[in-house]
Structure 1
Amino acid sequence: MRRVLLLVLLLLATGCATTPEPDHGPSASRARWQPRPGLAWQWQLSGRLDPAVDVPVYDIDGFDHPKSTIEDLHRRGRKVICYLSTGAWEDFRPDAAEFPRSVLGRSNGWRGERWLDIRRTDVLEPLMAERLDMCRAKGFDAVEPDNMDGYLNRTGFPLTAADQLRYNRLIARLAHARGLTVGLKNDLPQIPQLVRDFDFAVNEQCAQYDECAELTPFIRAGKAVFHVEYELSTGRFCPQSRTLGLSSMLKKYELGAWRRPC
């Protein structure tokens, strides 16, 4: 008994009794970034990236840019969001062949893209985990998962609101497990159920369709709403955006470098 007690005291004295925390990579050990309402941003998914726009947040394509691009934006003081499609398949992505035909549905209206059967998490979870691993490895601060509202569209699958809630929460958990902040893209009807699971929102055309007030749960929670319009002049949506606290700008549909912020 005395030998056991001495051994325990020795272990405590040397710190050997403490089990080290496992290392899950550089993102897992840092506090997640929380974008606050009103942050200006740039959203560029096409064309040669312009890194000189004087805003604190950039949202760029996760596949198209190497780690050095994210490092350059960080040196310029930017936080960087990794754009990914998590609800639709894209035939031009390097992992496109890994998606079985059974999970591919109707076109989502964009060339080369088809809705995914989000009920098949047995197939999609590991594929999305790999994509989020890529975002983390490149040094992104956050992720914008796109096409998160398949249940509201003609996907070719009988998707329900419950299916969408489960899938969206899965994506949020996968992102958070990797230290990534995650945004809810569109899916306005489910904001009340999902505002606690997501750290910010990304919205297209809420002003055109008179829906911007539906995003206020994010603002009340102290979470940014990154918003774009394509067809309205800034004079028609910026006053409301300022009142609501949205981070709004006018963009062209191709989402190149051009922007006109509120």
Structure 2
Amino acid sequence: MRVLGCPDARPARRTFRLLLAATTVGLLGLSLVVAASPAAAAVTLPPAHGQFDYQIGGAYPPAASVAIVDRDRTSTPVAGKYNICYINALQTQPDGDNPPAEPDYGTVSWWVKYHNDLVLKDSKGKPVIDTDWKEALLDVSTDAKRQSILTIEEGWIDGCQTSGFQAIEPDNLDSYSRSGGRLTFAQDKAFMVLFVPYAHTKGLAVAQKNTNSEFGTTGKTEVGFNFAIAEECGFYDECGDYAAAYGNNYIEIEYTDESAKKFKAACTDHGATVSIIRRDRNVVPKGDPAYHYELCP
């Protein structure tokens, strides 16, 4: 993700998340793929070219034709679908306009109150904030801090497994680009080298979220990502990079505030083999006036 305000700037690609309750459900009839690590359980990959529904902005009943649903880690998976669990892995959640006296779990205030040493600080000792989404960056600058953050997030990963998700979407793999030079991509990658194998031990596949210009094919070969979720790769002509690493096992999300022509061109080029949808930027729930969900024609 490029920084807003730069000559080559692109819009912030991530979306709002709502916190919802979770329950356990099962999934039947999907093939299994054994992960490379001997400590890993068998993981299930999403069905390539399966119809995708991105619901991290709020859950709602998906259409019967939908095969893959992506929801926040605190949401309930959908029985009979392939469910991806969204985790904000390298940044906090935002506080919201009216944060409660007791911080919500995983928000800026929660991290500062309970794990302040794991929040990246600026020269004045204040949290470094992703101003587009009002999220603080987590400090993955040392081995010790990376392990401490993982220890916290292991509970989140465990929750995804217990609830019945089949995969995880860890977000903000490019937090270094918003750190003002305080973090490097190598440090973000080093955290994923811890995160991904742990998820695999729980039988969960892990998606590489964006960042293929940084990872190239190493996201798959060195980190162990199983598939990819690529925002606007059609608009920015990056989809071929994901295909080089993951074949047709990547999910493409285009947005309505970008060119419809690019969406249609992506559909023409690879829509017959790759999951592609077009959504409103904040992926609001169905029923909201701003809701938009579009499949390839």
Q: CA RMSD in A?
A: 2.6
User: Hey, what's the Cα distance between the residues in 1 that align with 2:168 and 2:195?
Assistant: 10
Give the corresponding residue for 2:92: 89
1:55 corresponds to 2:66: yes
Give the corresponding residue for 1:8: none
User: Hey, what's the Cα distance between the residues in 1 that align with 2:129 and 2:233?
Assistant: 23
SS at match of 2:265: helix
SS at match of 1:90: coil
Give the corresponding residue for 2:14: none
Q: Larger % of helix: which?
A: 1
Q: Is the contact between residue 116 and residue 155 of structure 1 (CA under 8 Å) also seen in structure 2?
A: no
> Which residue among 236, 240, 246 is the counterpart of 1:213?
240
User: Hey, what's the Cα distance between the residues in 2 that align with 1:51 and 1:185?
Assistant: 22
Give the corresponding residue for 2:262: 236
Give the corresponding residue for 1:40: 51
Q: Alpha-carbon deviation of 1:216? A: 1.3
Instruction: Please give the per-residue CA displacement for 1:208-244, whole angstroms capped at 9, x wherever unaligned.
Output: 2222221112343xx6211111133544323334534
**Partner amino acid, structure 1, of 2:295:** P
Give the corresponding residue for 2:278: 250
> Which residue among 161, 167, 171 is the counterpart of 2:185?
161
SS at match of 2:92: strand
Greater alpha carbon shift after TM alignment, 223-232 vs 192-201: 223-232
Question: Superposition pairs for residues 10-49 of structure 1, below 5 Å?
Answer: 31-49=42-60
Give the corresponding residue for 1:117: 139
TM-score by length of 2: 0.68
Q: Is the contact between residue 234 and residue 249 of structure 1 (CA under 8 Å) also seen in structure 2?
A: no
* TM-aligned CA distance change 1:241 to 1:172, over 3 Å: farther
SS at match of 1:135: helix
> Which residue among 147, 157, 166 is the counterpart of 2:172?
147
Instruction: Please give the per-residue CA displacement for 1:168-197, whole angstroms capped at 9, x wherever unaligned.
Output: 221111110111111010111213111231
Q: Alpha-carbon deviation of 1:87? A: 0.8
SS at match of 1:250: strand
User: Hey, what's the Cα distance between the residues in 1 that align with 2:268 and 2:190?
Assistant: 33
SS at match of 1:226: strand
Greater alpha carbon shift after TM alignment, 94-103 vs 53-62: 94-103
Give the corresponding residue for 2:117: 102
Percent of pairs with identical residues:
25
Question: Superposition pairs for residues 174-213 of structure 1, below 5 Å?
Answer: 174-189=198-213, 190-196=215-221, 197-213=224-240
* TM-aligned CA distance change 1:207 to 1:169, over 3 Å: same
Q: Alpha-carbon deviation of 1:29? A: 9.7
* TM-aligned CA distance change 1:36 to 1:183, over 3 Å: same
**Partner amino acid, structure 1, of 2:294:** R
User: Hey, what's the Cα distance between the residues in 1 that align with 2:90 and 2:64?
Assistant: 29
Corresponding pairs, count: 226
1:170 corresponds to 2:194: yes
**Partner amino acid, structure 2, of 1:137:** T
Q: Is the contact between residue 89 and residue 114 of structure 1 (CA under 8 Å) also seen in structure 2?
A: yes
SS at match of 2:69: strand
